[in-house]
Amino acid sequence: MKSFRSALTVATLLALCTIAFTTAFAQGGQEGNSHEGHSKASTAAAKTEAEVSFDKLKTLAGSWQGSMVIDPPSKEFDGKTVELTLRATSMGNALMHEMRVAGRPDDPNTMLYLDGDRLMLPHYCDAGNRPRMVAKTSPNGKRVEFSFLDIAGGTEYGHMHGAAFTVIDANHHTEEWAFMEPGDKLVKVQFNLQRVQ
């Protein structure tokens, strides 16, 4: 009976913490009546470039399908289609990117998240490593380009070296990925994507 009471107490404390966190999260940025005059526009103007870029990329949440163009050309990937999913997770603090190329068993995963004033992209690669990239937004705000920062794991099979997302409209976007093969040979892949749902 004592262990049941202990478990009940822990469950109650967890529930209270969750409620407190959810309430605090929902009220985030509200400082009481002293800021009633602030408009949503002034709040948006205070966002960093990384926050604006992240918000833009989160509009891509959903399922996508499209074609790929590889430079230099590759017989292995010639004419293949790609399916990918973008999903906001961790209460909107991360964006998960999962990709599948037709005929391949791999499912490389990428996460996007804010780290202070930087938008980060760690890629969990089927080459067995995890490169990290940091974002820079184009002046028009439609393109978010990620540059290589560092890597964990071996590079004997190569590694992702860069990425870029360009939002065309609500139902179309492109992704460009740069892969550094052994011997510093750069391979570029462009995905032309259309929203499925």
81-90 tens-digit pLDDT: 999 999 999 9
Are 90 and 112 in contact by the 8 Å Cβ rule? The answer is: no
Please give the Cα distance from 109 to 196 (Å, whole number).
19
61 and 36 in a common domain: no
Of 16 and 105, the one with more pLDDT: 105
98 and 30 in a common domain: no
Which pLDDT does position 4 carry in this prediction? 36
Domain of residue 147, residue span: 49-195
145 and 91 in a common domain: yes
95 and 21 in a common domain: no
The overall average pLDDT reported for the chain is 82
Which secondary-structure segment (H or E) carries 40?
A: helix 40-45
90 and 27 in a common domain: no
Helix, strand or coil, per DSSP, at residue 16: helix
Where does a domain end: 45, 60, 78? Answer: 45
Where does a domain end: 27, 45, 63? Answer: 45
28 and 85 in a common domain: no
Please give the Cα distance from 50 to 113 (Å, whole number).
9
- Confidence check: pLDDT of 72 > 50: yes
Among 155, 152, 149, residue whose Cα is nearest residue 136: 149
Please give the Cα distance from 164 to 171 (Å, whole number).
17
**pLDDT tens by residue, 84-131:** 999 999 999 999 999 998 888 777 899 999 999 999 999 999 899 999
Question: What's the distance, Cα to Cα, between the start and end of the chain in Å?
Answer: 50
67 and 41 in a common domain: no
Please give the Cα distance from 98 to 86 (Å, whole number).
7
Among 132, 137, 193, residue whose Cα is nearest residue 160: 132
Are 62 and 197 in contact by the 8 Å Cβ rule? The answer is: yes
61 and 7 in a common domain: no
Give the predicted TM-score (pTM) of the model.
0.76
6 and 98 in a common domain: no
Please give the Cα distance from 56 to 12 (Å, whole number).
38
Amino acid identity, position 73: P
**pLDDT tens by residue, 142-166:** 899 999 999 999 999 999 999 999 9
Q: How many domains would you assign to the chain?
A: 2
53 and 40 in a common domain: no
68 and 38 in a common domain: no
Please give the Cα distance from 161 to 159 (Å, whole number).
6
101 and 15 in a common domain: no
CATH number (domain holding residue 73): 2.40.128.20
